Amino acid sequence: MTTRTPAALAKLLLLTCDQSYFDAEHPPSATLQTLPDNVSSDPAYKDKAIYQDHPAFEVDGPASGYVLLRTISRPDAGAKLVVYRNSTNDVIIAFGGTDGLDLRDWRANSQSAGWSQWKALKENISEDDLGLFRTLDALGTVNHLHFTGQSLGGALAQYAAYEYVANRRSADAGGTYTPSEVTLTTFNGLGAVWGLTDHIKNERGEPAFDPGMLAGIGSSTHYVVANDLVSRLGGGHIGADDQIVH
């Protein structure tokens, strides 16, 4: 049975998910906290009854020691992520989710269950603009690697965790690798099974999705809103032994 994500960690991951919604007007914060996006030229943000509140656990962010390491953005695909790291080389990767009425996000939701955005975030544009896996390679050995995302970003987090572990297993000639350093936590995330089933292939081009790929993961939880449609799409979630927290 997969261990549930500890509550203290889940709170930090939720703050990181908030940071993943950065844009040109609201850059991600240097330290882990809520994204300061309640000040905007958009008139909708003037309603302080909606946008002025901050979670009580926001103070846990700066105290955790996590600082912004880098962002990856692929504007043509509407895809983005943030990477935070602390002094013990624990790393959080949070994937941006559906951003309001952004048509790029809804296209990714409806046409590929987010896979088009995940593909873009893996791509190396240049040596100064690396994709996610080259970025992780540059970090060397990490202590813990936390994949997280909200909404559409939840599917991207699952794709990333799956392919990261698959790559590590493939490179382990002795077959002893266990992904105990990896965690996967999503918040009302889109499911990933359809995307993985459609796109994970073997060398002959045949479907090769392995539902047990994340066996031995350090911890995993999928938090969902019971009456929301998003988490019911995508064919199901991976990595948490079907444990869904409402």
What mean pLDDT is reported for the chain? Answer: 88
pLDDT on residue 99? 66
Q: What confidence score (pLDDT) does residue 36 get?
A: 74
pLDDT score of 173: 84
Selection from 161, 175, 186, 140 nearest residue 16 by Cα: 186
Identify the pLDDT of residue 106. 47
Q: What is the pLDDT of residue 190?
A: 93
Rounded CA separation 228/8 (Å)? 25
Return the pLDDT at 246. Answer: 59
Which tokens sit at 83? 């990477």
For residues 26 and 36, the answer to whether their CB atoms sit within 8 Å is yes
pTM of full prediction above 0.85: yes
Q: What pLDDT score was predicted for residue 130?
A: 95
Candidates 12, 35, 7; CA nearest to 96 is 35
pLDDT along the chain (246 residues), means of 10: 92 96 92 77 64 73 94 94 97 86 50 84 95 95 96 96 96 92 96 95 94 95 90 91 73
- The predicted pLDDT at position 222 comes to 96
In DSSP terms, which residues pair with 220 in a beta bridge? Answer: 184
Q: How far apart are CA 34 and CA 52, in angstroms?
A: 11
Beta bridge partner(s), residue 74: 79
The bridge status of strand 144-150 relative to strand 219-223 is unpaired
**Tens-digit pLDDT profile for residues 2-13:** 899 999 999 999
